[in-house]
Structure 1
Amino acid sequence: MTNLLSIRGVRKAYGDNLVLDGFDLEVAAGECVVLIGASGSGKSTLLRCVNLLETVDDGVVELAGDDITDPRVDADKVRSGIGIVFQSYNLFPHLSVLDNITLAPIRVHKVPRDTARARALQMLERVGLANKAAARPDELSGGQQQRAAIARAMVNSPQLLLLDEVTSALDPELVGEVLDLLRELKSEGMTMLVCTHEMGFARDVADQVCFLHRGRPLEIGPPAQVLENPREPRTREFLSRIRTGTFARRDDR
């Protein structure tokens, strides 16, 4: 398989806090790579660097062979090919679901309004929210809001989908509907880079699991190897804490 995303030697610091320390990762087209690790290990920062929401201090990120960390690139054009979904839905409360989804295509990417609305309605149908196009976000359940956020990320038919703990803010009974949607997207060939604490999803859907520790990929491999027979003591310790419920979640970088 051809690599769609190549991350080589990426370094990112906030003042004296080194969050990514020479990070390397390859993601093939159509592959789902799940990032796991303690809060503060760099998972969210990595996604933000890939989507150019953060500027890397060193290293290179390539998307489909193009160096998107080159300062001369058009960041908006790059982002039009990358969808990103955060744990907080980030939907504008004063806009309808349809308007939330069409806002960026119309305002940023200059897609004609009729075209943007047609694409958005198709995507809402795809995520099971066709009857919620006119609703405001506060009229939706948490799972519906997260599916609307995924629809917004998918409306431009991105090459790559980035997902940052998209189920962590949901009630347990709503987690399944979002994970089922991600399973469908994976089966359709969507390339995904996913931060999650849902080990069942990682086991069932991921092609690779990457355990981050102190801003580096400490262990990368198939889910069965990393999750069931990890080589690194730090990986074993992390998974033990997840299984026993003693893992304390904090705001991630």
Structure 2
Amino acid sequence: MSLLTIEGVWKDYHGHSVLRGIDLTVEAHEVVCLIGASGSGKSTLLRCVNLLETVDDGAIHLDGVEITDVRADADEVRKRVGMVFQSFNLFPHMTVLDNITLAPRRVHKVGRARAEEQARDLLARFGLADKAEAYPDRLSGGQQQRVAIIRALATQPRLMLLDEVTSALDPELVAEVLGVIRELKEGGMTMILTTHEMGFCREIADTVCFLDGGVLLERGTPEQIFTDPQEPRTREFLRNVIEARRM
């Protein structure tokens, strides 16, 4: 059984179809990268998986259970799905430690001592042990994004969704966040991520999916997508990205 199955998902906004019949399966421990131009539907697809958006047609199954069923408990689903956004969304009035332990304590009912122990272990793992008592405004952008990823990890999710997590960072800070994602892959975390970092996508992905106009136009291994894309639109997109990088 696949960990995640997306079947014929459509999403409309004001009569405009943002997702148009998306089909996708994600296996346990697989890393799927979604690429495509802005407005192609990548972020909307992640938001549908996390039930931040309601699908208009189709179904999404997590561990064999349909989570898009109207009877599904969205809060229960989100206990098993971690999501990290472009913006860090840390609570500015809370320390790093409190940001990380809030969901385990309030949602998962983990005792404070245990939650803090787990949080400190994660902070140490990702090079932030000395930032536990700091407030977000005392951290660099890269450090804040690492804390956001740790906060999602603290709930021990089955699936991680990462939406352009480096796009708000200065170039010199991108590498430290990508290093965290690389370590998550090595640890077997199942992930779906959207990214404009084509080199990183090629390195980390098991499967690359190209979205265009709300359609999953092409999918394949990184080797296939980046060296021999079958769709003219995929070739055009990659050519434009490569040319933009050279400018």
Give the TM-score normalised by the residue count of structure 2. Answer: 0.96
1:226 aligns with 2:225: yes
Separation in 2 of the partners of 1:113 and 1:22? 44
1:183 aligns with 2:182: yes
Separation in 1 of the partners of 2:198 and 2:52? 27
Separation in 2 of the partners of 1:202 and 1:26? 18
Question: What letter is aligned with 1:120?
Answer: A
1:148 aligns with 2:147: yes
What do the CA deviations read for 1:70-106 (whole angstroms, capped 9, x no partner)? 1111211110111100111111111111111112222
Contact 2:35 2:196 in 1 (8 A): yes
Classify the secondary structure of the residue corresponding to 1:156.
coil
Separation in 2 of the partners of 1:115 and 1:52? 29
1:203 aligns with 2:182: no
State how 1:119-198 maps to structure 2 within 5 Å. 119-198=118-197
Question: What letter is aligned with 1:191?
Answer: T
Separation in 2 of the partners of 1:20 and 1:240? 24
Classify the secondary structure of the residue corresponding to 2:3.
strand
Partner of 2:57: 58
> Higher mean Cα deviation, 47-56 or 121-130?
121-130
Separation in 2 of the partners of 1:71 and 1:172? 42
Separation in 2 of the partners of 1:117 and 1:57? 40
Question: What letter is aligned with 1:124?
Answer: L
> Higher mean Cα deviation, 6-15 or 237-246?
237-246
Deviation at 1:58, TM superposition (A): 1.0
Deviation at 1:117, TM superposition (A): 1.8
Partner of 1:12: 11
Partner of 1:118: 117
What do the CA deviations read for 1:193-248 (whole angstroms, capped 9, x no partner)? 010001111111100100001111100000011112111111011111111118xx
Question: What letter is aligned with 1:184?
Answer: E
Separation in 2 of the partners of 1:105 and 1:244? 45
Deviation at 1:130, TM superposition (A): 1.2
Question: What letter is aligned with 1:30?
Answer: H
Deviation at 1:139, TM superposition (A): 0.7
Question: What letter is aligned with 1:90?
Answer: N
Regions of 4+ moved over 3 Å: none
Separation in 2 of the partners of 1:113 and 1:75? 25
Question: What letter is aligned with 2:216?
Answer: P
Deviation at 1:116, TM superposition (A): 2.0
Contact 2:108 2:155 in 1 (8 A): no
Partner of 1:28: 27
Question: What letter is aligned with 1:114?
Answer: A
> Higher mean Cα deviation, 65-74 or 44-53?
65-74
Partner of 2:37: 38
Question: What letter is aligned with 2:97?
Answer: L
Partner of 2:239: 240
Separation in 1 of the partners of 2:108 and 2:183? 27
Classify the secondary structure of the residue corresponding to 1:34.
strand
Deviation at 1:110, TM superposition (A): 2.9
RMSD between aligned alpha carbons?
A: 1.4
Question: What letter is aligned with 2:109?
Answer: K
Separation in 2 of the partners of 1:48 and 1:120? 26
